[in-house]
Structures are given as C-alpha cells and as structure tokens.
Amino acid sequence: MQHRVKVYNLAQDGSWEDQGVGHVILQDSATEGGARNLLVVSEADGGSPLLLSRVLPSNTYQRQGEGTIITWSDPELRNDVAISFQHEEGCEHIWNEIQALRGEAAAAYGAPENGEGSQPSQGQQGRQQQMQGMI
C-alpha cells in the first residue's frame, strides 16, 4: 500500500529542506536477510527514489505533528529525516509497520526497542518543535 508523503532532510543550519513529494512503501531488501526499507518514489521525477532508508531496531523513530509526521536519525544516510504524510491513516499504517518490524528485529538480535515509548534527546526535541512549526 502506497501513501503520499513529503520528504525532508535536516540541513547543516538546522532547517528542514524539502526533498520532494512521492509515495512511500515498505520494501523487502534484496541484500539484507529479512530487512525492510522505507522507499519513497518521486511523483515528479519519473519514479526516481527520493529516499531509501533501512528500518533499523537501533533507530529512534518519533511520530509527531497532528499524527502525520515521522522523524528519525538515519545512521546510514548520516542525517535526520522526516516524512510528512498527506493523510493520518497513511502515517498510522507505516508507523505500525515500522514498530512491528523493529520489534521483530529487536527480539531476534536482542537490540533495545527505541520507538514509541522513548524520550527524545534535547536535540531531537528542538528539531521536532522546528518541524511542527514548519509543516
């Protein structure tokens, strides 16, 4: 199931940079055994990828805004990422999928689950406030 989103990356100056609009899906990874990726395919650029991010149990995912924004720090991309959903139902669907995947991976590898109940750092709180004011 695809959901329409806008992708943002955190710039060096602390502002959120719009990367474009596309559709997000969870995709099986061809290289990682059982891993899944968040893939956002551009609406405007002939279906080219705007974002490809592995769902990792060590990432701290945060849901914010009016229930339509998911943010995280991606160690592979070396950047903070946000996806803003057009509809709350889409955000709810992807959020639940991420949490389920992280729970499965954490159980398999003994990694801590740092999602729904975790407390964001001061830096994350500042970025969240900034993101909420922007979207």
pLDDT digits (tens, 9 = 90+) for 28-86: 876 656 678 999 999 998 889 999 999 988 889 999 977 899 999 999 889 999 999 99
Reply yes or no on whether the pLDDT at 3 is more than 90: yes
Q: What is the pLDDT of residue 16?
A: 96
Distance CA 107, CA 110 (A): 5
Number of alpha carbons in the 13 Å side-chain half-sphere of residue 52: 8
Cα separation, 20 vs 99, in Å, equals: 25
Tell me the C-alpha distance between 42 and 91, whole Å. Answer: 18
* Residue 7 near residue 28 (C-beta atoms within 8 A): no
50 versus 115: the higher-pLDDT residue is: 50
pTM above 0.95, yes or no: no
CB 29 within 8 A of CB 35: yes
* CA angle at 79 for the pair 75 and 85, rounded to the nearest 5°: 105
State the average pLDDT for the chain. Answer: 82
Could you tell me which residues come within 8 angstroms of residue 84 by beta carbon, excluding any fewer than 6 positions away? 5, 6, 8, 65, 68, 69, 135
Mean pLDDT over 4-30 rounds to 94
